[in-house]
Amino acid sequence: MTALPTLALSVRQPWAWAIIFGGKVIENRSLGAIRSGGMTPGRICIHAAAGMTEKEYRWGYWRLERHGVRCPSPSDLIRGGIIGTVEVTGIITESESEWFGGEAGLTLADPKAIAPIPARGTLGYFEWQRAVDFSPPLPWMARYAPSGGLFDDLPLAFDEEPAKPFGTGRRKPR
């Protein structure tokens, strides 16, 4: 891919990775965020946000495994950079897809990975610019890094679903 789109959408990990590599076809947002962020159909870059908590990673890892997708360790997930492009095909407020879990969502198709490019993100669609470097691994991420041991290639094991690191996004009826 030679020319990248000038617009990007920042997505927290591991969901940015899931859009490009894991088959995630809906990016959940509020209707207000979609409107105020100028989100419309078209090809955009996916920016992996700098932030990611351990709770977000654990729940995302568990959720992706339900789809048969093994998420990389947190220290292997690029943060603070453009990791690929995707076609936004529409905006929905209802869906039977397991990927839909909020008030609204952007439907996604045709993800293309690129060699990661450091960039700073912001809310909504934004015109991205190259930055100096990616976000460094956080201290908690070392617990998930391979140690050279016999069982390093085993997936994380969960006795039960990890707690969601966020609300459902659905409004309660009045």
pLDDT for 160: 72
Is residue 166 included in any domain, yes or no? no
* Mean pLDDT in residue range 16-33: 96
Beta-carbon contacts of 24 under 8 Å, excluding residues fewer than 6 positions away, are: 15, 18, 99, 108
**Tally of structural domains, the chain:** 1
Lowest mean pLDDT segment, chosen from 9-18, 23-32, 132-141, 157-166? 157-166
Domain that holds residue 123: 7-144
Tokens representing 29 are 């947002």
Is residue 47 included in any domain, yes or no? yes
CATH number of residue 25's parent domain: 2.30.130.30
Q: Could you give the CA distance from residue 164 to residue 92 in angstroms, rounded to a whole number?
A: 22
pLDDT for 72: 93
Sheet bearing 81-92, strands edge to edge: 26-29, 104-118, 81-92, 42-48, 7-11, 125-127
Counting residues of the chain whose pLDDT is more than 70, the rounded percentage is: 86
Is residue 153 included in any domain, yes or no? no
Is residue 163 included in any domain, yes or no? no
